[in-house]
Amino acid sequence: MVENERTEYKEKLTAALEKEAVAFLNAHGGTIYIGIDKNGNTVGVEKCDKLQLEIKDRLITGIRPSVMGLFDIACESLDGRDVIRITLAAGKEQPYYIRANGMSERGCFIRIGSSAQPMTQEQIDSIYYRRTHTSLRNMPSPNQHLDFTQLHIYYAGRKLTLNDSFADNLQLKTDDGRYNMTAYLCADENGMPILFAKYAGTDRDVLTENKNFGYCSLIKATEQVLDKFSVENRIYARVTATKREERPMVDPQALREAVINAILHNDYSYSNPPKFEMFSDRIEITSTGGLPWGMTKEDFFNGKSCPRNPELMRIFQDMELVERLGSGVRRILNAYAPDVFEISDTFFRVTFRYKQAFDEPASKTAQKTREKTREKTREKILSLIQENPSVTAVELAEKLGLTAKGIEWQLKKMKDEGVIERVGSLKGGKWVVK
């Protein structure tokens, strides 16, 4: 076990905690372990619960902007000893800094390799002026007369109590004391629809069901969508001489994570809600906004976490709808290939194709639809190659809004079929359409 750009070891809790945390927040996120020395040996910690509370308090009070929803703290057993794991996401409101030192070279750090390096004033100024100011925390609610009965009930159900200062503690107010958009989305009533649609075929021509689970607390809306999909997600079964076999239409864990991610990471600054659609051959879950600023597709598939709405993330964690930062994407990828994700600059979509019932041949209609989609993609690739024979798979993926792996699969297939040929090296060569 060695330190790297995503992992830091501390033998014990020291005054450098905020510095290391800030460095990860300003980079790609990472993990700090307390109770492991620099050589990777487990030494353990005492009074794990007490240390967790101290760490949480130091991160919340010692770092600015707010890091609510950007970290997890857990006590784990390693080699028979207790250690503390602190998981940090890449923050959206960079640059983050140590509160006592301000937004200066003494307060701003970034992770480079296996160490936290101070940022130059030029870097700090550049990042500060580029960052977005449309976070839900800074946007005032269109309605300042909000009730939170549902939110209190949900917290009480988790044996958590919201005191009179809950709006401040949960970051539900702007700096000038008004309710913000996070408060609006979590209130008993709001104007945000959460739409569910079901169609008879593989397109949107015949609508058979149309429901709106919104206009209420986002927690309640999330649970209603999850309940709806649990009913719609059929379980195929067969009984053999020795056992009963079951196969869900869509992997339930992956479906749950996709629903929560769509609601949690939707860009509500556009006032567009996430959308949930069922077709005869697939489920499509679409949210507004592409990847958060500063995150690439490579970062996304490598597990980098950068919550778009960290205040909502904090509340979803309290409700145990979210377990760990970045864990949802990993759970989806455990069940499906990366090509279930479609990412553009303006939207994010997950598509789950239905599994077939036991001993049931694939639907001819669904098969034709897939073949038609692949053929259209193939035509677009050939057109782009003719326009620019030197185009790379990564550039094709960016232009078509697909994954690089999916493009590479198409290119290999066309090469095997003799449709195209690669002349020269991977870097300096070009494509020839035969």
* Contact predicate 291/348, CB 8 Å: yes
Q: What average pLDDT does range 229-246 have in this prediction?
A: 83
Query: What is the token pair recorded at 376?
Result: 């259209």
More confident residue, 373 or 117: 117
Domain covering 7-130 in this structure, CATH number = 3.30.950.30
Average pLDDT over residues 360-384: 74
What pLDDT score was predicted for residue 359? 62
**Which helix (H) or strand (E) covers residue 311, if one does?**
helix 310-318
According to CATH, the topology of domain 195-353 is Heat Shock Protein 90 (3.30.565)
Tell me what the mean pLDDT of segment 401-423 comes to. Answer: 85
Can you tell me the mean pLDDT for 385-407?
A: 84
Residue 397 binned pLDDT confidence (cut-offs 50, 70, 90): confident
Mean pLDDT of 165-179: 91
Q: Which residue has the higher pLDDT, 326 or 208?
A: 208
For the beta carbon of residue 89, count every other beta carbon within 10 angstroms: 24
69 close to 307: Cβ distance less than 8 angstroms:
yes
**What pLDDT was estimated at residue 409?**
83
Does the pLDDT of residue 240 top 80, yes or no? no
Identify the three-state secondary structure at position 147: coil
249-295: per-residue pLDDT in tens?
999 999 999 999 999 989 887 678 899 999 999 999 999 887 876 67
CATH 3.30.565.60 placement within the chain: 195-353
Q: Which of 104-108, 202-206, 327-331 is least confident? A: 327-331
DSSP secondary-structure letter at 141? Answer: P
Q: Is the per-residue pLDDT at 411 higher than 60?
A: yes
Over 70: is that where the pLDDT of 134 sits? Answer: no
Least confident among 56-65, 183-192, 395-404: 395-404
Please give the residue that has the higher pLDDT: either 301 or 133: 301
Structure tokens at 157: 């159900």
Q: In angstroms, rounded to a whole number, what is the distance separating the alpha carbons of residues 12 and 36?
A: 8
The answer on pLDDT for 353 being more than 80 is yes
Token couple for 55 = 């760490």
Q: Which of 56-60, 131-135, 319-323, 345-349 has the highest mean pLDDT?
A: 56-60
Question: Which residues, other chains included, contact 45 with Cβ-Cβ below 8 Å and sequence gap of 6+?
Answer: 12, 13, 34, 35, 51, 81, 82, 83, 84
Dist CA 418 CA 416 (whole Å): 5
pLDDT score, position 65:
87
Which residues does 88 contact at the CB level (< 8 Å), separation at least 6?
21, 24, 25, 29, 30, 31, 32, 70, 71, 325
Torsion angle of the four alpha carbons 414, 420, 421, 423, in this order, in degrees rounded to the nearest 10: -130
Q: How many CB atoms lie within 10 A of CB 334?
A: 11
Any idea what the Cα angle at residue 28 is, between residues 23 and 32, rounded to 5°?
A: 55
Q: Report the alpha-carbon distance of residue 133 to residue 180 in Å, rounded.
A: 13
> Looking at residue 230, what is its pLDDT?
92
CATH 3.30.950.30 residue ranges of the chain are: 7-130
pLDDT value, residue 325: 66
Look at residue 217 and tell me whether its pLDDT is greater than 80.
yes
For residue 71, name the pLDDT band (cuts at 50, 70, 90).
very high
The more confidently predicted of residues 243 and 261 is 261
Higher-confidence residue: 132 or 56? 56
Mean pLDDT of the residues in the chain: 87
Class of domain 364-433: mainly alpha
Residue type, 417: E
3 state DSSP class of 243: coil
Would the pLDDT of 360 be above 70? no
Position 365 scores a pLDDT of 58
Q: What is the per-residue pLDDT for 277?
A: 96
